[in-house]
Amino acid sequence: MNNHTITGSASADIPPQVLRSFTVQEVAKRLDHAVLRPEYTAIDVAEQAAMCVAHGVGCICVRPVDVATAARLVLDKGVVVSSVIGFPHGNHRREVVALEARLAIEDGARELDMVMHTSAFFSGDDATVRSCIAAVVAEAVPHGVMVKVILETCLLLPKQIVRACCLAEEAGANFVKTSTGFVTGRDQIIGATPESVRVMLDTVGTRLGVKASGGIRTWEDAVGYLAMGCTRIGVGDAAAILKMAAPEQQLNYPQGSY
């Protein structure tokens, strides 16, 4: 299997009746809506937080500087705030990611999406990769905060995905995640592919959560990854994806425009 060859949509091999079995509300709760672009302003963060509340999105994932604002905006409204850590490339010292995690938790983050130390990984320094993840986990566990480790699978071969998943598990992470969405791999892949997600599910899917993220822009692909076994889906436009569901799946879907 070559992880650097795109072989189609996540929904390609999923029976249509399975795709139709997911309601908007069910999918919305599994979405992590990313508000991470460098040009986003405080107004953008507020608008995106309001969208997440209105559409029942489960998690809003923001830049570290936006955690306190996002936490205030969604307080008691059913949306969890996640902060990225070591974003976007992951090549930070252990002490730095630990401090970033601590400050994010103090600001109100209930989940942390940290980037694996990619330089150490490609250098074969598994101890450093594991240590950096463990440092973030150590900050998170006392507060009941969940840690997701971003592997950047578009840069990895299948055997490397297996190794990265195992390191995340050994370090105590709760989830493994495909991508930041900010890196282009070989063959111009950005983000999740069914092949990379399958490797992750087969490696740790019975013990850790698996989050497909990066390049997921349609209802069919979001639901396709859920049907494969992912428990979270990272997206950049949750409202657009939810509006793509068939009318019979809409149920109590809010009708505002955001």
pLDDT tens digits, 197-222:
999 999 999 999 999 999 999 999 99
Q: What homologous superfamily is domain 16-244 in, according to CATH?
A: Aldolase class I (3.20.20.70)
pTM value is: 0.91
Tokens, residue 76:
């008691």
CA distance 178 to 216: 11
Q: 175 with 148: CB under 8 angstroms?
A: yes
What is the percentage of the chain residues whose pLDDT exceeds 90?
A: 82
Predicted confidence at residue 1, as pLDDT, reads 32
Closest CA to 180 of 240, 134, 113: 113
Q: Given the structure tokens 């983000």, which residue do they identify?
A: 191
pLDDT for 20 beyond 80: no
**16 falls in which pLDDT band (50, 70, 90)?**
confident
Tabulate helix, strand, coil % of the chain (nearest 5): 45, 15, 40
Helix, strand or coil, per DSSP, at residue 82 = strand
| Catalytically active residues, by annotation | 113, 177, 211
> How far apart are the C-alpha atoms of 62 and 82, rounded to whole Å?
6
Is 67 within 8 Å of 102 (Cβ atoms)? no
